[in-house]
Structure 1
Amino acid sequence: MNSVKFIPVDLLFDEEGTIAADVVSPSSVLLLPAGLHLQSLRKTHPGALNLLRNHGITKIPVKKAVFFTIEEFRNVLRRVQPPVSLLNPLAAQVAAHQMEVVYSHIRNRAVREKGIRTLITLGNTLCRQVKKTPQITLSLGEDAERKQTPFLHGINVSLLAGHIAGRIFPLWPGFTESVTVAGLLHDIGKSFLLPFSDGQGRKTSVPDRQAIHTHSLLGEALLRDAGVTAQDVLSAVRSHHESWDGSGYPDGLVGEAIPVGARIVAVANFFENLVSTCDSRGKKRSDQAVSSLLATANGRFDKFIVRALLASVGLFPPGAVVELSDGRRGVVLESKERDLVRPRVLLVTGEESEKDAIPAVIDLKTTANVFIRQVYDDYGKMTVPPLRREGRSSVLFRKYHAPSSMG
């Protein structure tokens, strides 16, 4: 077990570990949240010591903990036997670049039409990658500088939507491909509304909420104009903001009247937004996103599709850093569909994870008397480095040809 000790405020930055309990002021204002790593505190809030002193705080409860970075986690992950399947980072880089080209030159019809066709082929490529990646949230991408972009958002929604569709309809590969493509293109209508460059350095103004509500219709129109005829793609893009109770837009569809593909993209879009949302302590953890999805699912989403996603990510999604009941720490690799609270965990601390040894992966379902005591953070999201374009920002990747059905 990790012991908790009280550290004088003046010595706090000399220690390693995490805040063991919420630190509040005499007037009940939260100053430091429990679970915050001191290493992170030093970097992000160098004035924290003065803040504590000003509120009369003299000692802080600290629990010893091993702090590890994403890079360290990746190094451990590479030594796991058998290997853990992850998305090919190049696929995400190419897709992100292609989406940026299309969004930034959306008013150039020639670039737009060619770009949409290329994105459809890339969507099919992502679909094939999804089939190889059961630990789906370990493959969600984020910018190298941790900035959320509409391009990576589209890729993440595409991965999640394709994953859900593949689980629900394993015998319908064509439908899964269509849903994956729709996830990639679901927000393309926003490219006419949000401030992206038009290729000549000009920016459009930020629209109001009513205008944003037209983006799904605009997206469908753009795809039709580019020659897209796949009804599953078009309906999912048009209807991904419809709600199960009829309160959505643009058509106010209710329940089963909402196309299945649109229902899947809606759940994937909502979950990805939750994971990527920043709060006062940084990005929301996947387990918090699961809780939020459960809390808001009633009336808004198809419960069957929500259950399909939750069965994939579990209550402790892949990438979540957890502490076990015996004091060891690890990263969740995969959840069991019928046992959401006992996933497989890659050990990062403890005797079984010596630096030079093959990392141990334990299955909590078959490990007696060991359970997850608390969740710390997410380390699963794949960092996507910027793709060098050497000044040719409007270049389309010519090796991706349009599908024959697209003309």
Structure 2
Amino acid sequence: MLKRITIQDLRLGMYIQELCGSWMEHPFWRARFLLTQQNDLKTLLASGIQEVWIDTGKGLDVEQGATARTDEEVDQETEYLLREADKPLSTATTSMADEVRHAMQLCNTAKQSVVDMFSTARMGKAIEVGQALNLVEDIANSASRHPHALISLARLKNVDEYTYMHSVAVCGLMIALARQLNMSEEQVREAGLAGLLHDIGKIAISNQILNKPGKLTDTEFAVMKTHPERGLRILQKSDSVSPAVLDVCLHHHEKIDGTGYPHGLQGDGISILARMGAVSDVYDAITSDRPYKKGWLPAEAIRKMAEWSKGHFDDTVFQAFVKTVGIYPIGSLVRLTSGRLGVVIEQNPDSLLMPRVKVFFSTKSRVQIAPEVVDLARQQEEKIEGRESADTWGFRHLEHLWIDQ
């Protein structure tokens, strides 16, 4: 049973369902947890939080003699219970097709949230961490329902919205990667926030450099390389940004062999979250269309990153990342043993080599064929022979094959 209580009635052993107040008023990444630590109780009592919702089915109830609730508080509790009952379970799994439809709406609202957040920072104001955390929570819930929908959609950004949607994409990738690495849900949220804010320093770089269609000069590249430090200064204006998130902002361009920037860190000198940020940042960057280069298809990007991985990425993190997005990520163009071409539309959690593929073209007759979904894990006749280039075949806008399922 859910019950709203005053902060003075809170005690160890209670299960906190929701903290009544903004994220800025408390230091906890999750609003739902079993209260077991005396230090956490002291922190809550000293915070600006006045009331909390507890779940007496998962933890202790209030003690006898606790403050009686007013009629208004009872009405508020009833309204909250009805609201909660009407919500879908955020962790329930859904089909790829269903989650793609939900993720399309989420991408639109996420883009606007990031635009607003970056605009606030551009005016010299502190980042509203509560707003950012709410967005991280929405993205984490989408990834819980289906891990590939949002990160695949966020990749399909146009050149003009790259800066904003790149933040959303890296947030989603960091969340999925953190779960692949078996991190706690608290660490998952922190990884997501780090991904969302990692490139905020680019608001201090001129559009002439950011959107230059040609190669940057040495002087321009030197300016571009200042964005991690500029981002750090922006985030330091907010007391609510954790040291781990600041570290990712500053060090997501470091490389394992020490050739990265801004500090040339190497090996274990780079934090685990910064190593995760490096992989996630590069993957989304090279699969996105930029003013100076068309993005690679996902499978080609994974192949290229594997070539760089020894000096560039942490081996364990990169291997976990490949498991996260797949050897043939959603949207990859592949050739089957039958000679048919198809687009990967969904991963197989039991085998990275046997995703579901929507075939649509015959290389033998060189004509389009009626689209057909082939689940490579459920038959013996077909397997993937290799990756293909959409440009080589003259294909455009292959994304509709996996978006419109």
- Is the TM value for this pair above 0.5? yes
Of 162, 165, 168, the match for 1:149: 162
Does the 8 A contact of 2:358 with 2:401 survive in 1? no
Q: Sort the Cα spacing of 1:293 and 1:120 in 2 relative to 1 into closer, same or farther, 3 A.
A: same
Of 195, 210, 217, the match for 1:183: 195
- How far is 1:379 from its partner? 3.2
CA distance in 1, matches of 2:290, 2:186: 35
Matching residue of 1:168: 181
1:366-400 alpha-carbon deviations (Å, 9 max, x no partner): 3113122453547348999xxxxxxxxxxxxxxxx
Q: Which amino acid aligns with 2:117?
A: V
CA distance in 2, matches of 1:169, 1:376: 34
1:26-84 alpha-carbon deviations (Å, 9 max, x no partner): xxxxxxxxxxxxxxxxxxxxxxxxxxxxxxxxxxxxxxxxxxxxxxxxxxxxxx97845
CA distance in 2, matches of 1:371, 1:308: 23
1:227 aligns with 2:227: no
Q: Structure 1 stretch 173-182 or stretch 365-374: which is displaced more?
A: 365-374
Q: Sort the Cα spacing of 1:132 and 1:255 in 2 relative to 1 into closer, same or farther, 3 A.
A: same
CA distance in 2, matches of 1:309, 1:380: 22
Question: 1:125 aligns to what SS in structure 2?
Answer: helix
Identical-residue share of aligned pairs (%): 23
User: Structure 1: 5+ residue runs without aligned partners?
Assistant: 1-79, 197-205, 385-407
Higher helix share: 2
1:246-269 alpha-carbon deviations (Å, 9 max, x no partner): 222223222122111111111000
Of 225, 228, 231, the match for 1:216: 228
CA distance in 1, matches of 2:382, 2:136: 41
CA distance in 1, matches of 2:224, 2:401: 29
Structure-to-structure mapping, 1:366-381, within 5 angstroms: 366-374=378-386, 375-377=388-390, 379-380=398-399
1:138 aligns with 2:152: yes
Question: 1:244 aligns to what SS in structure 2?
Answer: coil
Q: Sort the Cα spacing of 1:104 and 1:239 in 2 relative to 1 into closer, same or farther, 3 A.
A: same
CA distance in 2, matches of 1:237, 1:226: 14
CA distance in 2, matches of 1:229, 1:256: 23
CA RMSD of aligned residues (A): 3.5
Q: Sort the Cα spacing of 1:167 and 1:346 in 2 relative to 1 into closer, same or farther, 3 A.
A: same
Matching residue of 1:92: 107
CA distance in 1, matches of 2:352, 2:152: 17
Q: Sort the Cα spacing of 1:176 and 1:271 in 2 relative to 1 into closer, same or farther, 3 A.
A: same
1:298 aligns with 2:310: yes
Does the 8 A contact of 2:343 with 2:402 survive in 1? no
Q: Sort the Cα spacing of 1:269 and 1:364 in 2 relative to 1 into closer, same or farther, 3 A.
A: same
1:254 aligns with 2:266: yes
1:333-390 alpha-carbon deviations (Å, 9 max, x no partner): 233456433222234579xxx98xxx86433133113122453547348999xxxxxx
Does the 8 A contact of 1:330 with 1:345 survive in 2? yes
Structure-to-structure mapping, 1:106-145, within 5 angstroms: 106-110=121-125, 112-114=126-128, 116-136=129-149, 137-143=151-157
Structure-to-structure mapping, 1:1-400, within 5 angstroms: 83=97, 85-86=99-100, 88-110=103-125, 112-114=126-128, 116-136=129-149, 137-143=151-157, 147=160, 149-170=162-183, 172-195=184-207, 208-277=220-289, 282-336=294-348, 339-348=351-360, 361-374=373-386, 375-377=388-390, 379-380=398-399
CA distance in 2, matches of 1:81, 1:302: 32
Structure 1 length as normaliser, TM-score?
0.61
Does the 8 A contact of 1:346 with 1:362 survive in 2? yes
Q: Structure 1 stretch 150-159 or stretch 271-280: which is displaced more?
A: 271-280
Matching residue of 1:54: none
Q: Structure 1 stretch 297-306 or stretch 227-236: which is displaced more?
A: 227-236
Q: Sort the Cα spacing of 1:125 and 1:280 in 2 relative to 1 into closer, same or farther, 3 A.
A: closer
1:149-180 alpha-carbon deviations (Å, 9 max, x no partner): 2001111111111111111125x011111111
CA distance in 1, matches of 2:401, 2:238: 32
1:182-210 alpha-carbon deviations (Å, 9 max, x no partner): 111111011122339xxxxxxxxx98322
CA distance in 2, matches of 1:167, 1:118: 26
1:205-248 alpha-carbon deviations (Å, 9 max, x no partner): x9832232222122122222122242322222121111111222
CA distance in 2, matches of 1:109, 1:281: 32
Q: Which amino acid aligns with 2:321?
A: L
CA distance in 2, matches of 1:223, 1:84: 36
Question: 1:142 aligns to what SS in structure 2?
Answer: coil
Does the 8 A contact of 1:322 with 1:372 survive in 2? yes
Structure 2 length as normaliser, TM-score?
0.62
